[in-house]
Structure 1
Amino acid sequence: MDEILHLPQQEEGGERLTARLRARAETAGAALRTGAERFRRWTDTATAGGRRIISPLHFLAAAAVLGVAAVVTTVYTPAYVVELNGVALGTVTSPQVFEEALDRVEARATSILGYDYTLDGDISYSLALIEPENLTPTASFETYLFDQIGDVMKNYVLTVNGQFIGASQDRDTLTAVLDQIKAAYINENTISAEFTSGVYITHEYTAANVNQDADVMLATLTSNTNGKTTYEVKQGDTFVGIAAANDMTLSELEALNPDVDSSVIYIGQILNVKEEIPFLSVKTVDHVTYTESIACPVVEVEDDTMYQGESKVLDAGTPGEQVVTADVAYLNGVEQEREVLSTEVTREATNKVIAVGTKVRPSWLPTGSYIWPVYGNITSSFGYRSIFGSYSYHSGLDIATAYGTTIKASDGGTVVWSGTGTGSYWSYGNYVVIDHGNGVQTYYAHCSSLLVSTGDKVYQGQPIARVGSTGRSTGNHCHFEVKINGTSVNPLAYLN
């Protein structure tokens, strides 16, 4: 019923149509009445005096009358002229046909307007004879009746996944809104752009006061909703930093990761973070041509003067170059996949030569990764804190655990201090410092006892001290600190 044609009969005007239909009925009726009367008289004459006498002339006359009647009943069919407030709308085989059309219109209007709607008007029916092919289609009645409802109008309607967005008398207005959304993701290389949702423009009846503001529609379609995606923790990350990088507060990040201790995160850990998702997403494909570097093939050369795991570049080589043609798919401007169509090498890469050590590593050599010296609750994190009534900078982690718990070397290296703190380090009590090379040192403070001496070589995981509460301490714990070139850094960024 969304696409209904108007009554062609209305071109004549209601009064002219009514008069024409009634004239047809009266003409056909008069013909039938005249024929019937003549037939009766002929029959009476033929049977006068009690005898049935039918002459050839009488027979032919009777046949003519019956022929007229047959012609009338063959050409015309009984019908009803429907009038609404004195205006002829058309003809139906029975009043029920029009009543059912009226019911459908009222039901549809009720659905559109959101309240019970009843069409008012004076409806009348008058008998007529009409050619069957000229009976009025019911769709024409429904279109006319809808046009009489002031609170309903025909509009172009925009929906997304079945949700109403807005309407307009002009289809181009809705198309322009959709094109504006796509335009944000289209450039000179774009070969296709489409919406990922079901977007439809239909022509249908709506309430007259429905939203037709293009700016409001655009705001709705470009609004964002919060989704959830994941992030892999990298070296140097902190919980606070991850929250800030994803435009989140610390409490929002904690809410998305209820099972994660924000004070203890590790490299490779997967965290849930917030992601803004547009109400209407756009998928585009760009056809691009670009120059790409070709990595140098690596050739390894053994060197018995270096330890296993060590390496040295002997010849860096020269990267190659190639021209790539590809189709790149994006979702809301973020690359999703890249299909390489062709490559053309314009410069070959030369070999990169690396010397690799073959000498057996001593156990105390640093690995470059760092393990937890002890496990326990972090009672004080890296950074500024309030302690003993004052606000101060805390250079490491305080890990609380039982008295006498073994403290292990976070990585292999050389012990450069093992003793009781003095001077600026008096508050550390008994502590150990291990040098791991490349400017990296780790500190283990407030120990109850020390198990290594200055100058010792220690391997990763080797016992070096026991937990205590010496120096400036309020309970048994290990103060663990990482310094790079003399500057303290957050240990959580390095611990595995």
Structure 2
Amino acid sequence: MDEVLHKPAGRRPRQSDGRELSAQEQLGLLARRVVTDWKHFYQWARFHGRRVIHTVHDLAGGNRATGPVTFLAVSGALGLALTVSTLYAPAYTVTVDEDTLGVVSDQAVVADAVAQVERRGTEILGHDYQVEGQIGYDFTLSLRSELTQPDQVENYFLEQLSQVADGLRRYQVSVNGVAVGSVEEMGALESVLDQLKGQYVNENTISAEFVDDIQVEDVYSEEGQMTAEELQTALMANTTGDTTYTVVKGDTFNAIAYANDMSVSDLKALNPGIDINRLMIGDVLNVKEQIPLLSVTTVDDVTYTEPIACPVEEVKDSSMYVGDSKILTQGTEGEAQVHAQVTYVNGSETQREILSSTTLREPTTTVKAVGTKEKPKTASTGSYSWPIRGRITSYFGGRNIFGSYSYHSGIDISASYGAAIKAADGGTVTFAGYKGSYGYLVIITHDNGTQTYYGHNSSLLVSAGQKVYKGQQIAKAGSTGRSTGTHCHFEVRVNGTSVNPLSYLS
């Protein structure tokens, strides 16, 4: 095309046979080249407009007969060229792995979009992200109005990032700021949380909430994924470490409580079904309250009936000792209907708010006689003091002694030879003498029928039938009977059955 437009003034283009082309033929040649070479035409139209004007003048001056026609034809071509340069722009068709993305005016549009999306992808995924695919560029002419906008290019690559992110997306659960685990589907996570609440919900429950702070966030990783069952197990895991203890030879309830920094009463509360006086090897005791990682608080709205205690009327009786009493007339409990809201944490009641109480049946009065006569010094008090102070060398329950396992019906308290052994409470001596493996033994029967045993004494200071008071010396420590050294063997028997003395001593 430039060859046509750069011919010297005054010379006409010619056919191959030398014949000079007419103005109409020159215009046809120009049109054919415009059709077959848009790129050169655009460049010609943009950069050589002035030469076209000179060509028009040249054609008009060289052939005045055809000048107007030539002028009009070339002017039309010029108009077409100027129209093309105004509506069209040089551009690039962009492909990604042979998939057409669009047409852009500059390759920098694509480069900027890729850089922006890769930065965003790195932030989201937590690792270096690069867009995928081979990007290609082909030069073309495009209507300016049909150029692909920068945000459209960026959206194309963002869609690619979204597909990658969706494949790696996990829903991570944190409790009080500590990550617990992640699952692939939000529905699975919601189901786990609903089940954790649901185990404490009943027909009376009006609210159920998690006590702890739960955060759920998107993470993008192929590692650390859990199944719904694994996540539920993790959220229900106990937070206080080992919560049970298995009884072994020589264990006593008191010793287990002491070893776990608990009081005997606390240990009893955690093991309501255990007979503390008859522990068996292999028994499993709860030694700590189980607190799951994720706790649930519920509120139940309940209506129930409860008894109304009988009022008690006391009548003095001088024939009875102070502290003793007996029922003369037993009253009948009343009944009330109560409306309350009860708060639980992990199924254990923590608060009860009484909203209303309606009496359904009034109680009747209980009449009780109470003693006014002073007790003798030898009367039982109902509490038991230590017969001697010393280290416990053998506890109540199973033990290994003389090379074999045996059941120890009391506790052994270390003592020096001849030390004073005292009555744990007031009562009547019902045995004082030598009795097999006990050696020299004293048995005291107390007013409530409970008996205390004091064995392995070196000598006895009381005799059967004698009444003794609490703290009175009854024997001297020794090592008689089946004994490995000087000590006091002390037993407590209730209804003829040995119980753990540590549960009674104060």
The answer to whether the superposition gives a TM-score over 0.5 is: yes
Q: Distance in 2 between matches of 1:264 and 1:379?
A: 20
Quickly say closer, same or farther: Cα 1:330–1:260, change in 2 above 3 A: closer
What's 2:440 paired with?
430
Contact 2:102 2:147 in 1 (8 A): no
What's 1:407 paired with?
421
Quickly say closer, same or farther: Cα 1:267–1:455, change in 2 above 3 A: farther
Q: % of aligned pairs identical?
A: 44
Letter in 1 for 2:288: K
The answer to whether 1:443 aligns with 2:453 is: yes
Q: Distance in 2 between matches of 1:451 and 1:214?
A: 73
What's 2:245 paired with?
248
Aligned-residue CA RMSD (Å): 4.5
Q: Deviations over 1:44-66 (max 9, x none)?
A: xxxxxxxxxxxxxxxxxxxxxxx
What's 1:227 paired with?
240
What's 1:163 paired with?
180
Matches within 5 A, 1:29-40: none
The answer to whether 1:337 aligns with 2:338 is: no
What's 1:494 paired with?
504
Quickly say closer, same or farther: Cα 1:186–1:427, change in 2 above 3 A: closer
Larger displacement relative to structure 2 (97-106 or 134-143): 134-143
What's 2:369 paired with?
355
Letter in 2 for 1:415: V
What's 2:409 paired with?
395
Count of residue correspondences: 411
Matches within 5 A, 1:319-330: 319-330=333-344
Radius of gyration: which is bigger? 2
State the shift of 1:321 in Å.
0.8
What's 1:56 paired with?
none
Q: Deviations over 1:89-129 (max 9, x none)?
A: 68798666424313324414652xxx654334344688996
The answer to whether 1:274 aligns with 2:288 is: yes
State the shift of 1:318 in Å.
1.3
Which structure carries more relative contact order (alpha carbon 8 Å, separation 6+)?
A: 1
Contact 1:228 1:273 in 2 (8 A): no
Letter in 1 for 2:190: T
The answer to whether 1:469 aligns with 2:463 is: no
State the shift of 1:495 in Å.
1.7
The answer to whether 1:182 aligns with 2:197 is: yes
What's 1:484 paired with?
494
What SS is found at the alignment partner of 1:472?
coil
Q: Distance in 2 between matches of 1:379 and 1:208?
A: 59
Contact 1:185 1:284 in 2 (8 A): yes
Letter in 1 for 2:287: V
Quickly say closer, same or farther: Cα 1:99–1:487, change in 2 above 3 A: closer
What SS is found at the alignment partner of 2:288?
strand
What's 1:88 paired with?
101
TM-score w.r.t. the length of structure 2 is: 0.66
Q: Distance in 2 between matches of 1:102 and 1:373?
A: 84
What's 1:460 paired with?
470
State the shift of 1:191 in Å.
1.4
Larger displacement relative to structure 2 (156-165 or 185-194): 156-165
Q: Distance in 2 between matches of 1:264 and 1:205?
A: 42
Q: Distance in 2 between matches of 1:332 and 1:320?
A: 33
Q: Which runs of 5+ in 1 are unaligned?
A: 1-25, 43-67, 230-245
Quickly say closer, same or farther: Cα 1:278–1:77, change in 2 above 3 A: farther
Q: Distance in 1 between matches of 2:486 and 2:440?
A: 13
Q: Deviations over 1:206-262 (max 9, x none)?
A: 3468747444444444x4225269xxxxxxxxxxxxxxxx742248xx9xx999756
State the shift of 1:474 in Å.
2.6
Match of 1:145 among 160, 173, 176: 160
What's 1:104 paired with?
119
What's 1:283 paired with?
297
Letter in 2 for 1:248: Y
Contact 2:181 2:231 in 1 (8 A): no
State the shift of 1:368 in Å.
0.8
Q: Distance in 2 between matches of 1:147 and 1:430?
A: 90
Contact 2:267 2:287 in 1 (8 A): no
